[in-house]
Each structure stands twice: as structure tokens, then as C-alpha cells.
Structure 1
Amino acid sequence: MKLPGITQGSRRRCLTWLVLNGIGQAGMVITLALLMRTAFDHLIEADTAAGILTTLSYLAGFSLIVIVNASLRWRERFDAERLGQDYVFELRQQLFAHLSRISPRALQKRSQGGTMLRFVGDLTALRQWVSLGIARLAVAAVMTITTLAALAVINPALAGMIAVMLLVAAATMLVLGRALEGAARNARKKRTQLAANVSEKISAVSVVQTFNQRKRERRLLKKQSQRLSDAMLQRANRVGQLRAVTEALVGFASAGIILLGAWQISRGQATAGTVIAAMLVVGMLAPALRDLGRVHEYWRGARVSREKILQFLNAPGRVWQKRGAPELKVSSGVIEFENISVDGSVQDFSQRAEGGQRIALVGPNGTGKSTLLALAARLFDADEGRILIDGQNIARCSLQSLRANIGMAGPDLPLLRGSVERNLKYRLPQASKKQLKEVYQLCGIDDLIADLPGGLRTRITDGGRSLSAGQRARISLARALLGNPKILLLDEADANLDKDAESLIDQVLQNYNGTILMVSHRHPRLQQMDQVWNLNKYQPCGPHTDNKQQCVDSARSALALVQ
């Protein structure tokens, strides 16, 4: 997967305006230099009366040029930021689109803090490279080359001296830049480690408090912070060296012009006005030269961030969908698992759930109960085998149509930060009042809302931690049921619930008009099921009367294995 092009779409036009801006600024510098040379040489020889009028006219010209040049600088900054924001906007959308396709299993292998850096630190580095690097390079390079070319016409020796100094400074910055990239890479690594640690402790602060490890974690944070501080100081040292080269260039260029100009004046090869004009050119070019020095700094930082973003975009674990994949058509909701194998979990599993059946999945931890539910929702793909819904291979159907027909609730699908209403309607934001009413009645949402201080507008924290387990279960189940999906996947949705919340699960099992696959460890609930899939022995039981005792025995056997 590739990153967006800098010159794509409206960014090409923006870059063109920046190049024209650089030409315009170069024109202002050249005009100001010529005007300064003429004014200086003319005013030295003019009489007092004529000198006053001439001075006023020159001042008016100087003022006009300065105002135009200042306007160009303002426009340059605006266009540069627009270029960077446009690029980062597109890249951010690409990153999130990729993130939303990564399987939860693959994402769990990454630290949350490290993943966040893709969207914060790395995007910032790339934005700086585009808006403060490429944009400034487009303006400063054009301005510098054009101005030096014009100065070469006025005085080739002075222009040549400045050009040589520029080349020496560029070579020096290339050498120093390699060390800067290493320092930037090291600082970024330390920042990632710190962010990952803090992100983990935020979500697990109760663990730290319960086991009385506050001092230990503070020592770890202190150590990581010191390492990050040292790395950032090392990076700042390298950045300072680059900027020192730029400042030295400006200083040496000014001193060189004075010395060379004085020598030329003594030999009659230049006028005082020419030397003053050359010094003015250096002064006007100083901001552009400083920009060129920082361009290298931004480029080195962006190289590291670009590498990490590409690694993220090209990492395995994405759930792929073929272009033009047909929509899944669900009528009865028959689910067939054919020879499913997942490394370290399920091996050669085959079962069939008829439309409208209630299926319980039981077995010891690690036998693949939650894995099968995730495979049915295609949160990731099996290593071998296929899953059919109403005879259609879900791997060949569009993801949107598949998930539109599936509702899912479980501990790995937490509530989101925001209002209760936002969470309830998350699966179907445009749900009608009738659809909402049906789900509210089935899940007892009206009673829940009455107990909350803000009703539907009550704000909840990440994961719904500000709510009780029963309240979270009601909202999660209502979210999964909204829109009446044909298939309902419940991953231990009845765990750690009070009696009221458990009765809600029973009510859903009795009244839901669709196929249910449910992971459960509760014996009374298993007796309500049409089939029990014991993943420890792959022992199914059917709904028929002559098979009822086998179903109960299988459920008891499965629960004994679990407990």
C-alpha cells in the first residue's frame, strides 16, 4: 500500500501557487536590490533639495516593495499549511480505513500507544515535512536560485561567492543530517515505549492500585521519561547543529560581501551601491536560507515516520474484500462451518446451525468458542475451511452486507465514549422510532433510562465503566439487536450479571426471531438451546424429543469441563 501523492488533486494547484510565490518574492528582492543600488549611488551625488524629493520617492518605492513582499510571505504560510493539512487529511482517512479493516486479533498484538502515534506523532512529522518542508523548499529554492541569477548579472563575483557558501553549507547539512535521523529514530522509539506504558496503565489503573504497585510504576515511568528526555536532548543537539550551519552561512555571506565589495570598490570594479544591494539581498534571503536549513531537519524526521506508517499499512492481519464482491442475501439464517481450522485454537471444526435455532457453544478455555463467533462475523479469516450463510461463502461477499445481517455482543465489544443514545443507535444511527421502541421493550431500556440522571443524554466513559455490569449488558444487547439482524452472536453476554440482567437474556432467547450462536457457561441456559456444541469433544445435540436427554447430558458434561 502506498501513501498519497504530494501532487495529487488540489495539492498540485497549491504547489504551483507556492512556486509562483517564490518567483514573486525573488522579483521583489531583485527590484529592491536594484532600487537600493540606484538610490545609494544617486543620493551620494545629489544636491540637498533634489535629494529630499528623490529620497521620498525612493522611500515610497521601498515601502511598496516591502508591503508586497510581506503579503507574499503571508500567502506562502497560508498555502503551505493548506498543503500540509490537505495531505494529512487524506493520509489520516487512509490510516483509519486500514485500521477499521484490521482483525481484532492482529490489532491486539500492537500496543495501543504505538498505534496512536501513527495518528498523532507520525502524522505531525509528515505534516511538518509537507507544509514546512516541501512548501518552503518550493518557495525558498526558487527564490534563492532566481535571486542569485539576477545578482550574477549585477555582480558575478558576489553572486559566485554566495553560491559557493550555499554549496558548502548544503554538503555540511547532509553530513549532519544522517546523525539527526538516527537521533530522531531513537527519540521516536522512546516516545513509543512511554506512550504504550501510559496507555496500558490508564486502562488498568485499578490493577496498579489493588496490588499496591504505585511506587513501582512511578519508578518505571521516571526511567522511561528520563530516557525520552535524553533522546530528545540528543535530537535537539543535532537540530541545533543544522541551524547553526544556516546562521553561520548568513554571517559568513554578509562578511564576505563586505570584504569582497570593499576590495572591488578599491579597484573601481564596483560601486558602494552595488555592495549595499548585495548585502540587502543576503538579508532578504536570510529567512529563505534558514527555511532551507530546517527543510533538511523536517525531511529526516519525516523519513522515520513515513517508514513506520508504511509498516503499519502493509502489516498482515487485514480482512480483505474483493472488489465488486456481491452482497450477502440472508433469508433463513442457516450457518455452516466447514472444516474450520485456526492455528492454536479450532482444528477441523464442522457444524451446521439451522435458521432460527439457538446454539450454545461450550468447552474449556482456548477451545475456540469466541473464535468461531469472530469467524462468523468475519472479524478475521480462518487458516483453513469456509463458513456459509444460507449457502453463500461469507469470504466472497461484501463485508458491509455481512455485518448488516449480524448483531453481536460480548466483552470484546465495549461501549464507546459518548452518550447512552449514541451507543444504543451505533449499529443503526438512522433507526426509526418503531425499531427503537421494539428494542427498548425487549431489553428493558426504558427502565434503565429512568435510572440515569441524564436519560439518553447521559455521558458514559470509555468501555462504559461508569455504568454497572447490568446496565452495560442491556445497552450492548440493545445495540446488537437494533435493526432486527437475522443472526445474533452472543459471546458470554450472560457472564457476571445480576438476576434482572439474566432474565433479559432469557427474554431475548425466547423472543428473538433469528439464529443465535451463544457462548455460555450457565447450565439452565444451555437447557433452553436447540443445540449445544461441545468444542472439547465436538459433540452436538439436537432439538428433537428423542435427543433431549443427550442434549442435557452434553451440556452438563461441557459445564463440568469448564468448571
Structure 2
Amino acid sequence: MNTRSMKTSQLIRRFAPYYKNYMGIMVLDLFCAALTTICEVVLPLIFRYITNQGMENLAAITVKMIVHISLMYFGLRIIDGLASFYMAYTGHIMGARIETDMRKDAFEHLQKLSDSFYNNTKAGQIMSRITSDLFDVTEFAHHCPEEFFIAFLKAVVSFVILSSINLPLTIIIFVFIPIMAVSCTYFNLKVRAAFKQQRNHIGELNARIEDNLLGNKVVRAFANENIEIEKFQKDNIKFLDIKKKTYLYMAAFQDTVRMFDGLMYTVVILAGGIFMIKELISPGDLVAYTLYVTTLLATIRRIIEFAEQFQRGMTGIERFVEIMDADIDIFDEEGAQELKDVKGAIEFDHVNFEYPDDHTPVLEDICLNISPGEKIALVGPSGGGKTTMCNLIPRFYDTTSGQISIDGKNIKELTLKSLRSNIGVVQQDVYLFSGTVFENIAYGRPGASSQEVFEAAKLAGADDFIRELKDGYHTYVGERGVKLSGGQKQRISIARVFLKNPAILILDEATSALDNESEYLISKSLSRLAQGRTTLTIAHRLTTIKNADRILVLSGNGIVEEGSHKQLLEKRGMYYDLYMTANRLEGEEE
């Protein structure tokens, strides 16, 4: 995944389109921000007017005038309260909706990424990027335009009013603002980098915790709890060190602001007092001037305080963009067609494949024709490319060169959905989703009726044991199906494929991890499943593929032998050696 640092302007351009659906809310939010600004700007003018009137002609100030001014100001405060409520409620909801939109886009993008991405990215990091990293985007999306708009308004209004009171003093005050901005930028960038480092390490912590939770049985079996605690604490302390560095930069950042804050007040007291002695500014104007400087500094402080939130938001956006920029290697080509009325003929035409990250050749010049309904078995040593070859058919990976066709149609010219909808895969490592048995079987064909689910379970030989479970088909299977045995999980996965009813079936060592009884039951289920379908079986136990129409022996040199079980034994080649070795090992186990 790309982890290069992006400029703030680039990130803003990538983020800005998310405001498109909420422009009405945004415009009204900024209008409310302008109303709250007016209320703050009016107060110093009121004090200036009353003070100057009192100094010039105290008798001219009446109770009626003060009451009118007070009522007018209180009316403005009511408007301010309503505007603030809108900003705090509707504005935050807008931010939450933008966060929701971004999370939806990130999740949709993740569904399009190939196995190569997931092979090289930790699940904990991905989870962190689409959950916690986007939490701060809610605040950022709402407050970013609002805070900068208010700051701009107050700066402009303050400059105009202060200049009308005393231009030389205003110029002196405003000279400090760009100097302050430049001084703070250094620490701001450091804070941003530290926040990104924090986010990256949170992803590592998530990955560490996930690894421990999923492998907790192995941890306990080897009594390695203390080792796991030690590894976690090492990462935990590293995270603390990163946070210490973050707080150091934040403290330096805030201290710089406070120093400039004090310096600007010092200038007002010193220069303002001298100007008043020389009658270049009236006492009322100096009071108003001080209040406006206070308002201006309060605005700057608010922006500074928002800077932490701003950097958190930018970090979240940056890590979101990194996910969105992950290349989609496998996608529908322009003009891709639907795969319909599948017979199941498969052709490999001079297929070569190497993994994109290490470029190690796995398959070289594979040529193969499989007839509709033919039962093909793939055997050979580990690393020979058996699983990879099968993974190329549903386009979990794309060929490096050469072409794969189904019923004479190049699979790259077919839509991924229609291609994969016609291919069923039963793997050794069964994955069941957290939910009920019924929901896991129905996953094979969303919208299937209860009767169809029950029928699929019967065909898979799973109906009897399912009905004996505590809640039958509505039994909760636990996370990853931990409440079921390996054989039970495998039969549910087979039922899922029965329900899908694909024309092409891939069996990837589906029985190699099971005991003899479970293997026997599941082999019967798989035999029923394979009837009338083009089937590719990756075999670990060679005794299970004796009845295959054709057996292919793969090695690093491609397909080295091909034929029926009997023909290959008569050749006394690699298959013969593998078969004899397997028989000897099984005999030793017995």
C-alpha cells in the first residue's frame, strides 16, 4: 500500500467532492457562522460607543438608550444561539454523513482489490483505516470550512474596524500574524507527521491483537502467553513513545502561539497607552481596540486549537486516500459480456503466471483442454502451481501471459460477477461467517427459499446433524464457525456450493484436514456435488482421485504427466512415485 506523505492541498482536493451532496447544509452552516461572527463583532462597537459618549457628554446617555442597546444585543444573542444550535447539530450530522460516505467507498473499493493486495496488507491495518481513522473526519468535515470561514470574517472585519480606529497601531499588530503563522507551520507539520505515525502504529497494534485472538488456541497450547504479552507490551510502549513525541510538538506549537499572544497584548498596552497620552486615540477607542484584539487573538487561538483536530482529520483522509489509491488489478474490461448457459469447457492456451510482488515464475506455458463435465485431478509436490492454476479460472489472479477460456470465451472479456457466479470453490480452510447455519448456507445464493436451503443441506449430507443442533438451522455458529467441528463446517460449505449450483467446481484439498470418518462422509457429498459439473480437484490424498477422468501431474516444469490413474501407474513416473510414497506413509500411520 502506498504510504508516501501527500501535500495538504492534494488531500483537500481529494476530500472536497464529498461536500457535493451536502452543499445546501454547508451554505446554511456558513451563513449561521457569519451570524455568530456578527454578534461577537458588535459587542466592542457597543462599548466603544457608550465609553466615548460618556467621556464627551455623559448627560446624553439615557436609560432608554441603554435599554434599547441592551435589547438589541440580547436579540442578537438569541440569533447567535439558534445559529450555534444549527451548526452544532446539523453541521455535525453532515460530517457524520460524509464519514459514512467515505467508509462506504473504502469498503466498496476493498471488494474490488485482488488477492495480491490482501497477501501484502495486514487485516488490522485495513480495519484501522476504515474505522478509527475516519472517526476524526466527522469533526474535520464540519469544523474545517466553518472555523476558517469564521477566522477569515473576523480577521477582515477586525482589520477594517481597527484600521478605522488607528491605522499605525493596526499595522504593527497585523505584522505579527504572518510571523506567527510561519513560526507555527514548522511545529504543525511535525504534529501532522506524528499523528500519521500514531495511526500507522494503531494499525500494527490492531494487527497484533487480531493475530493473538485468532491464534489464541495455539498460544495456550504452547503456553506462550508471556511471550505474547511481551510482544504486545513492546508495541504498546512504542506507541506511548510516539504519543510522547506528538505531545512534545503540540506543546511547542501551543507555547509559540501563547508567546506571540502575549507579545501582541504587550504592543497594544505599550503603543496604545503612548497613543492615548498623545491624544492619537481616545479612551473609548482604546477599550474597543483592546476588545477587538482580544477577539482576534481568541480567533487565532481557536484556529490553533483546531489545528490538532485539523491534523487528525488530514491524517485520516490521507490514510483513506491510500486505500482508495490501491490499484484494482482485476476488473471488468470495457464491453465485458455476461457468461450464460455454461457448458463447462475450459482451455488454458500457453498460460504463464508469476506473482506480481516477487515475480517468481509459478506456471510456464500451460496448455490444457478440459471437456464439459470432465473430472480433472491435479497432483504434484507443494509449490507446483496446483492451487494457483485453479485460482486463475475465477480470476482471483490474472495470467501474466496466455489466455484462459470458458466455452470458447476469453475469461478477461467476461464480467467478474457472471464468471464467478458459475464457479463453485470448496477449500480445505472453510470460512463460515458469524451468524446462523441457515445464513451461512443461504450465502451461496442470496434470496433462496428455506426449502432450497434445506434441500442443499440434504444433498451435502448436512441436514441430519444440523437438525440435531440446539437451534437447528438457526444455531449460531460462532466467529469463523468455532462451535462446529471441521467435518460439520466442511459439509455446510458444500451445502453452500450446492445452493449456488455452479457449472464448474474447484475442490482445493477439501478433505485433507479431516479424520477418516468425516473424509468418507464428505467424499460422498463431493461426489454428488461433482455430478454433471466440470470438476477440478486438487488432491492431497491420492487414493481419493482414482476415479478421475484425467489426472495431471504438475511440477515446477508445468504439466509433466497426464492420464488416468491406471495409465499413470503403468508409466512408473512421478505419479507412480508419489502414489507409492503416499501408500507407504498411510501404512506407517496405521
TM-score with structure 2 setting the length: 0.85
Q: 1:472 to 1:105 in 2, by over 3 A?
A: farther
**Unpaired segments of 5 or more residues in structure 2?**
3-9, 355-360, 586-590
Q: Give the C-alpha shift of residue 399 in structure 1.
A: 0.6
Q: Deviations over 1:184-214 (max 9, x none)?
A: 3443444343333222222222222222322
Matched residues in 2 for 1:239 and 1:5: separation?
25
Which one of 421, 426, 429 corresponds to residue 438 of structure 2?
Answer: 421
The verdict on how the C-alpha distance between 1:48 and 1:560 changes in structure 2, with shifts beyond 3 A counting, is farther
- Whether contact under 8 Å (1:98, 1:318) holds in the other structure is no
Q: Does 1:487 align with 2:504?
A: yes
Shift of 1:479: 1.7
State the partner residue of 2:334: 323
Find 1:540's aligned residue among 562, 567, 572: 562
Deviation at 1:397, TM superposition (A): 1.0
Separation of aligned partners in 2, 1:459 and 1:157 = 76
Residue aligning to 2:189: 178
8 Å CA contact 2:428, 2:512 repeated in 1: no
User: Is structure 2 residue 533 aligned with structure 1 residue 514?
Assistant: yes
Give the drift of 1:53. Answer: 3.9
Moved more, 265-274 or 525-534: 265-274
Match of 2:76, SS state, is helix
Q: 2:561 is paired with a residue of what secondary structure?
A: coil
Letter of the 2:563 counterpart: C
Q: How far is 1:232 from its partner?
A: 0.4
Between the aligned partners of 2:25 and 2:250, the Cα distance in structure 1 is 28
Q: Does 1:409 align with 2:419?
A: no
- How many Å apart are 1:252 and its aligned residue? 4.4
* Cα shift at 1:306: 4.8
Q: CA deviation at 1:379?
A: 0.9
Measure how far apart 1:139 and its partner are.
3.1
Supply the RMSD in Å over aligned alpha carbons.
3.3
Q: 1:552 to 1:42 in 2, by over 3 A?
A: farther
7-16 or 422-431: bigger deviation? 7-16
Question: Does the CA-based 8 Å contact 1:126-1:305 persist in structure 2?
Answer: yes
CA 1:156–1:419: 2 relative to 1, 3 Å: farther
Q: What pairs with 1:25-36 in structure 2 (closer than 5 Å)?
A: 25-36=36-47
Matched positions, count? 561
Taking only the aligned residue pairs, the percentage that are identical comes to 24
Give the superposition deviation at 1:122.
3.4
DSSP 3-state at the match of 2:179: helix
Q: What is residue 525 of structure 1 aligned with on the other side?
A: 544
The C-alpha deviation readout for 1:423-449, integer Å capped at 9, x for no partner, is 222232211344323212112333233
Equivalent residue number for residue 407 of structure 2: 390
The answer (yes or no) to whether the contact 2:507–2:535 under 8 Å persists in 1 is yes
One-letter amino acid of the counterpart of residue 324, structure 1: G
Matched to 2:553, the amino acid is N
**Residues 62-83 of structure 1, C-alpha deviation per residue, up to 9 Å, x if partnerless?**
3222232233333334454345
One-letter identity of the residue aligned with 1:163: F
Matches within 5 A, 1:494-509: 494-498=511-515, 499-500=517-518, 502-509=520-527
Is 1:111 the equivalent of 2:115? no
Shift of 1:475: 1.6
Cα distance, 1:98 vs structure 2: 2.5
Moved more, 10-19 or 486-495: 10-19
| Deviation for aligned residue 1:154 | 4.1
Structure 2: distance between partners of 1:535 and 1:410: 19
**For 1:508 and 1:369, how far apart are their aligned partners in 2?**
19
Most deviating of 334-343 and 364-373: 334-343
1:137 partnered with 2:148: yes
Residue 457 of structure 2 is aligned to residue 447 of structure 1: no
TM-score (norm 1): 0.88
Judged with a 3 Å threshold, the aligned counterparts in structure 2 of structure 1 residues 181 and 5 are, in CA distance, closer, same or farther, namely: closer
Aligned to 1:376: 393
**Change in CA separation of 1:224 and 1:504 when aligned onto 2, cut-off 3 Å:** closer
Paired position in structure 2 for 1:76: 87
Deviations 1:218-242 (A, max 9, x none): 2222222111101101101212222
Structure 2 equivalent of residue 435 of structure 1: 452
- Deviation at residue 412 of structure 1 after TM alignment: 5.0
Cα pair distance change 1:502/1:35, threshold 3 Å: farther
Q: Give the letter aligned to residue 27 of structure 1.
A: I
